[in-house]
Amino acid sequence: MEEKQEKRKLKSAPYTVAIVGRPNVGKSTLFNRIVGERVSIVDDQPGVTRDVIARIFEWNGVPIRFLDTGGYETTARGEIEENLRKHIQEAIELADLLILVVDISTGPTPEDEEAMDLIRRSGREVVLAVNKADNLKREQEGLNDFLHWGIEPLYPVSSTHGTGTGDLLDGVIDALPERPAEIGVEEEENLIRVAIVGRPNVGKSTLLNHLVGENRSLVSNIPGTTRDPVDTFVEKDGQPYLLIDTAGIRRRGKIKDLEKYAVGRGKIAVERADVVLLVIDAEEGVTETDAHVFGLTQEAGRGAILLVNKWDLVDKDTNTAGEYVKKIKETCKFLRHCPIQFISALSGQRTHRVWDEIKTVHQNYSFRVPTSGLNTHLQEWVNRRPPHGIRGRHPKILYMTQVSSQPPTFALFVKNREALHFSYERYLINQMRETYGFGGTPIRLHIRESRRRDYSERPVIDSPNN
């Protein structure tokens, strides 16, 4: 972009601007160029962007929520295309202003004319971005082809190289209405961010739609329908949430072409989240891929809830749920602390419980333990099971303190740290879970060597051999 601006966190934007146009004219590249990060998937294949992607960016002191939409076309009649047209229409209705992107190298096409008709029917103001104006000759020869629409000035841009985008944004600011529609929800301080992850076609988008109460994410029986994370703001019982729907994540060896982008985007969604909903297909059970995907959540240190979807399709008896839970915990031992809910996203069966689980897990994820109470319990745990030494050396446990939350992270100060067996760390973590709960959240425990020379303060406990 021609003018580099200082990045800062923006909580809200009064104006909304939707980027629209036919497939493969460079809408997503322009969107990424404007917001300054690679949010939308970019590929030469038409129709890559299927969902509406939103990001806030400030230009000349005006924060704007930009929406990247899929390519508008009227000829295709498939299920996905019908949903796509609906999402584009919704984005246009949300917007205060539209940026229509066209391709200078092709001139106006019938699809461009259809997009322009849609804009005229919407009654929204429009700014025309003539993309792929990569050189002066092409710009001089191609701009006049678009004058018949009566939209001036025209803004020649190259979204790939960034030229002209500053002038385009100046034009956007000039064309914004005096009063915004004020549609959207502010990103508040107490916002809980929730990512929905899982393999393709396990019902993630259907779950999001049911939680939100309206069709905000593209739903189809075709695996891999959702390719980009989709942010949806929801308020439930006075608590604001940001729901992030992601593409199905697969093992690296299974990825081809565009799906490699979807995997990376899914990882980013997990990193952005506080709590992750791990969705599996009840009929297929926990797979190796599920274990891999859920491991990403554990590695990132995020709270997690396991949702067994399509439970209504499983033949059940009184022991079915219990056996299912046992199998899950055997397959994904690192998620034994996570709550499990058996749901049907399609019918809404037990999905109301998900909200309560999210709130509880987030409380555990953010919980801080008072140091005095923690060390009182630490003395009890160590008295119950004193640590054994390694190779003739014995550890002396001094004290523990919580150093951070989200996830809860603790430091255990020990004399002769190398003599403390790693199994004892697991023991202490298990004791913390029994005492404080911490359901759904990882616990980080860092063993630190005490460098203090004065040990006049009585340690929690000595090894029995000391």
The answer as to whether 402 is a domain residue is yes
7: pLDDT strictly greater than 80: no
DSSP 419-450: GS-HHHHHHHHHHHHHHH--TTS--EEEEEE-
The answer as to whether 345 is a domain residue is yes
229 and 337 inside one domain: yes
User: Of 331, 366, 401, which residue sits at a domain end?
Assistant: 366
Residues 6+ apart with CB under 8 A from 196: 204, 207, 208, 243, 244, 245, 246, 276, 277, 279
Range name among 71-85, 119-133, 349-363 with the lowest pLDDT average: 71-85
Q: Tens digits of per-residue pLDDT, 448-458?
A: 987 654 443 44
- At residue 10, the pLDDT reads 45
How many Cβ atoms from other residues are within 10 Å of residue 87's Cβ? 20
The answer as to whether 8 is a domain residue is no
415 and 356 inside one domain: no
354 versus 46: which is more confidently predicted?
A: 354
217: pLDDT strictly greater than 70: no
145 and 260 inside one domain: no
Q: Kindly indicate the confidence band of residue 67, based on its pLDDT and cuts at 50, 70 and 90.
A: confident
Q: Tens digits of per-residue pLDDT, 399-416?
A: 999 999 999 999 999 998
- At residue 393, the pLDDT reads 84
309 and 240 inside one domain: yes
59 and 113 inside one domain: yes
Sheet strands (E) in 356-422: 396-404, 409-415
Residues 6+ apart with CB under 8 A from 407: 301, 302, 303, 365, 441, 442, 443, 444
294 and 260 inside one domain: yes
- At residue 186, the pLDDT reads 42
- At residue 381, the pLDDT reads 96
399 and 356 inside one domain: no
- At residue 142, the pLDDT reads 78
> Residues 440, 338: contact at Cβ < 8 Å?
yes
Residues 6+ apart with CB under 8 A from 100: 20, 21, 115, 116, 119, 126, 127, 128, 129, 151
Q: How many domains does one find in the chain? A: 3
Region 364-390 average pLDDT: 93
Reading the block at residue 83, the tokens are 């949903």
The answer as to whether 47 is a domain residue is yes
Q: Kindly indicate the confidence band of residue 263, based on its pLDDT and cuts at 50, 70 and 90.
A: low
Range name among 173-177, 424-428, 454-458 with the lowest pLDDT average: 454-458
| CA neighbor of 250 nearest in space, from 237, 235, 267, 236 | 267
299 and 399 inside one domain: no
242 and 351 inside one domain: yes
pTM of the model: 0.60
86: pLDDT strictly greater than 80: no
Q: Kindly indicate the confidence band of residue 12, based on its pLDDT and cuts at 50, 70 and 90.
A: low
The answer as to whether 1 is a domain residue is no
The answer as to whether 24 is a domain residue is yes
232: pLDDT strictly greater than 80: no
Of 214-223, 234-243, 416-425, which one has max mean pLDDT? 416-425
* Three-state DSSP class for residue 198: coil
CATH code at 280?
3.40.50.300
What is the percent of the chain with per-residue pLDDT over 90, rounded to a whole number? 31
The answer as to whether 5 is a domain residue is no
Average pLDDT of the chain, as a whole number:
79
- Residue 450 C-beta-side C-alpha neighbours within 13 Å: 18
46: pLDDT strictly greater than 60: no
349 versus 458: which is more confidently predicted?
A: 349
Q: State the Cα–Cα distance between residues 327 and 330, nearest whole angstrom.
A: 5
255 and 284 inside one domain: yes
Q: Kindly indicate the confidence band of residue 81, based on its pLDDT and cuts at 50, 70 and 90.
A: low
> Residues 197, 297: contact at Cβ < 8 Å?
yes
User: Of 175, 201, 227, which residue sits at a domain end?
Assistant: 175
135 and 242 inside one domain: no
Domain of residue 226: give its range.
192-366
